[in-house]
């Protein structure tokens, strides 16, 4: 009665391995910053991708995060979570591959930057080639335009 990996699970396998990352962030509360770090992505039975990242903020504080991604066949979409040592909330993910098969937008909802309520967020994974992928984060407040606040480059190490 065990589930079998689908093609969507195999799509996630592109992210398996060791990665160096450079993330550039521009937020209303902290301004612009660049963070470097590393990420290890492993598979849990071919069904789930678990990515663990560590790095150091520009002011010298260490951080770590864990992202999980899988594919829920009953919902016909990718699902997952994101948690980080620098925040108190968990980010539930859901999304579908775009028509190119290279970009996976992951939708979530979380605290607004201004601390007043919540807003919509979208993290996007974009496969460039077997040794490079991009990660971007955007928010949308009050049904307005999407605003990108983070972009990241991942290079296989």
Q: What is the pLDDT along the chain (157 residues), one digit of tens a residue?
A: 689 999 999 999 999 999 999 999 987 677 899 999 999 999 999 999 999 999 998 888 999 999 999 999 999 999 999 999 989 999 999 999 999 999 999 999 999 888 888 999 999 999 999 999 999 999 997 778 999 999 999 999 9
**Run of H or E including 11:** helix 7-12
Domain harbouring 68, CATH code: 2.40.128.20
User: How confident is the model at residue 31, as a pLDDT?
Assistant: 81
Query: Is 46 inside any structural domain?
Result: yes
- Look at residue 59 in the predicted model and tell me its pLDDT: 83
* Within-domain flag for 34: yes
- Whether 1 is covered by a domain: the verdict is no
140 within some domain = yes
Structural domain count of the chain = 1
Q: Among candidates 52, 29, 54, 41, which has minimal Cα distance to 114?
A: 29
- Let me know if residue 115 belongs to a domain: yes
Q: For residue 35, is it within any domain?
A: yes
* Whether the Cβ atoms of residue 125 and residue 110 lie closer than 8 Å to each other: no
Q: Is residue 2 part of a domain?
A: no
Residue 1, pLDDT score: 64
Per the structure, the complete domain to which residue 85 belongs is given by 7-156
Residue 142 in domain: yes
């Amino acid at each position: 009665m065990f589930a079998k990996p689908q093609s969507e699970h195999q799509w996630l396998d592109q992210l398996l391995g060791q990665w160096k990352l450079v993330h550039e962030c521009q937020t209303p509360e902290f301004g612009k910053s660049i963070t470097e770090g590393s990420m290890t992505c492993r598979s849990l039975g071919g069904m789930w991708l678990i990515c663990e990242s560590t790095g150091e903020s520009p002011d010298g504080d260490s951080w770590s995060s864990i992202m999980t991604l899988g594919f829920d066949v009953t919902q016909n979409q990718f699902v997952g979570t994101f948690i980080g040592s620098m925040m108190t909330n968990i980010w539930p993910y859901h999304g579908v591959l775009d028509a190119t098969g290279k970009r996976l937008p992951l939708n979530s909802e979380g605290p607004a930057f201004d601390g007043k309520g919540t807003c919509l967020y979208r993290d996007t994974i974009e496969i460039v080639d077997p040794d490079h992928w991009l990660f971007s984060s955007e928010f949308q407040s009050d049904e307005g335009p999407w605003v990108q606040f983070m972009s990241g480059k991942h290079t296989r190490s």
